[in-house]
A and B are shown apart, each in its own frame.
Chain A
Amino acid sequence: MPPSRPAEIALPPPAVRFPYAPHWRAFDLVNAAAERLLPARLAPAVPLVLLLPALLLVTLLTVGLLLVAEQSFHSVDPATFLLHRDYTWRNYRVLLARPQYLEFGGRALLAAVVVAGLCLLLGFPYAFLLVRTRSAALRKALICCIFVPFLIGPVVRAFAWIVVLGRTGLVNAALRALGLAPVELVYNLTGVLIGLTQLLLPITILILVPAITAIRREVEDAAASLGAHWLRVAWTVTLPLAAPGLGNGFVIVWTLAFSDMAIPAILGGGRADFITNIIQRTYVEAGDRGVGGALCVATTLVTLAIIGALFLARRLGPAGRRSGP
């Protein structure tokens, strides 16, 4: 015999009615659909599925790399500028035989390090003030100023620097007014560094802000209350805690500075070409798909190796225990 149902317990009517909200109904439907599409046993695959859009987008670009890599294994016929049919290592041998590529690459590498350092140096106080200030108006103004440089576009911005830094520009006019000798700040590597730093400062600040936000104000106050001088607080408390953000910023800014093409071209006056400019000239303008292609592949591999090494250093370093980027 089935067990009898327990006696109905008379409950008082609920004091408040809880209607089943429509968005809860909607979520029930969505959850049910999700359950059907991706049953629980496929749950381990979900992360991969969610990654798929990003991976597909990047794969669009890697196809280009494979295409160019394929081209790099054919040599160019100088009469027709078309690629020969047979495969050869010639282009890579040419690459190694010409010392200037190393020079351009090295210049770009070091310049990017300088730019990344400058960006962190200048960006940190800015980000710090932005996070710590109690004035909402100041914060809003500072945020606006981060975006302002982006807004006029790369070419116009570079040209504005020529106007500021050139022989007849603002800086030299001021120097002349003070009776000092004019300084050559543009059409050379200096101009490129100035332009690149300004280009990448906003990104640096945007990366540093979350890192500094994570440092609770009370920690700094505690250190100060224990008698530490403000410089000491900054050096022993704030900077180490912000180190992951600083490391992250360094990697991103370095990559962006290394791969920039417009600023070295416009502000360098041909005297400060980066490897990217050489690639543009060799592959696109001269139409040398062979050596140009080899240059592209070599640059990509070297950059990948450097960033991979930086990643590794970040993970193994003192802040390496953080799991997030």
Chain B
Amino acid sequence: MGRWRGLAAALLLLAAVPALAEPAKPDQLVVRGFTGPWGDAFEATIVQMFTDRYGIPVVIDRRLDPTIELIVEAAQAQGRPPPIDVSISLENSTFREAARGVMLDLTPADIPNLTALLPISHPPSHPDSWPYVNFAVDIMTLVYRKSAFPGGPPDSLDVLFDPRFKGRVLYGTTSLTTIMLVSLARGWQIPDDMDRIWAFIADRVKPLDPILGSDPEVVNGLERDEIDLAFTFPANALGLDAVGIGWTSPKEGMFGLNEGLWIPRGLPEGETYWARKFIDLALSRPALQAYCTRLIVPCFRPDVAPPPGADKDPYFPITPEQFARVRETPFAAYEAHQLDWDARYDAIMK
């Protein structure tokens, strides 16, 4: 009789060990996510997988990054836990937030899948730590209205400066995308050639009287025949096929904005644990496979198969050499001057 009791006790202890090692599951995990097709893809793939695997419901907070950043900073300054557990953000937000120090350091010990990613997933401004992790890249290309290009898709970024598209082209509301576009089209360097870039913007871009906006304006403008052309993410054109919208990669190359995941500092211990679990799952092969296939974006895991048809697409980077062709946004230079450049862009364009 004693043997069985001893065995039962040992088995119970063994069963209890994992439960002891894991903190209690929170009643929900709050994740800040994108809106639009990115948000839908995120919910349908990564978020769903997390809930299926761990049984923790996930609530998505769709407020924009700058708003969340303000709220998280205020919470951290006052010693309160921030309102979100994980966030998926574009790098123009994450690099700034990392510089401000709002992020929790991700370590490969807690998130094993960090080591399975390509080296470019590491934030360039923090060589010794992981404030956030880039896992996929949204590439900006030429999105155009087919009826405006009867001779076939445009092959050069120069069409964006063509006076015949006066009033029918869309540019970004902040300086980042336009500066990158001009530097790419003309082969100039940031920040060395900034004077030429500003002169170009004033002389060639401003007279086009473009509409300035971000993703919602792109979609609306294309749908409602307000614009013919934009330098934006192809995901914005998903579903606009019926209205005669297509996209193509220009010969000058493309640049991309990385999508990243991060955890704010100051969370309670249990939530931090599950937030790390979330990121680890998001970076796993099945999750990234589903997400990137659905959005048709390249991701930074070498063992993820590209979406069907992508290997024939010249713009879709799969191998490291192709990734090298995509110009990464020079955030190091941009970071130092962003505030002045945004102001100057405002002065010229508005």
Contact = CB atoms under 8 A, between A and B. Distances in A.
A81 B97 CA distance: 9
Given A269-B211, A270-B349, A281-B342, A168 B67 contact: no
B226 A187 contact: yes
Nearest to A97: B343
A288 B343 CA distance: 11
B350 interface: yes
B99 to A, nearest CB: 5
Contacts of B224: 162-163, 166-169
Interface string B51-70: 00000000000000011011
A80 B220 contact: no
A295 B210 CA distance: 26
Contact of A271 (B209, B226, B335, B347): B209
Given A99-B347, A167-B225, A286 B336 contact: no
B347 A187 contact: no
B217 interface: yes
Contacts of B3: none
Given A80-B99, A81-B100, A273 B350 contact: yes
Interface string B166-193: 0100010110000000000000000000
Interface string A280-303: 011011111001000000000000
Main secondary structure of the interface of A (DSSP, over half): loop
Given A162-B224, A269-B213, A270-B213, A79 B339 contact: no
B347 A100 contact: yes
Main secondary structure of the interface of B (DSSP, over half): helix
Nearest to B66: A285
A54 B209 CA distance: 46
Nearest to B349: A270
18 contacts: A78-B338, A100-B347, A100-B350, A104-B350, A166-B225, A167-B224, A167-B225, A168-B224, A184-B167, A187-B211, A269-B213, A270-B212, A270-B350, A271-B212, A287-B66, A287-B96, A288-B339, A291-B343
Given A100-B347, A271-B209, 8 more contacts: A78-B335, A79-B335, A81-B99, A100-B343, A167-B224, A270-B213, A281-B346, A286-B339
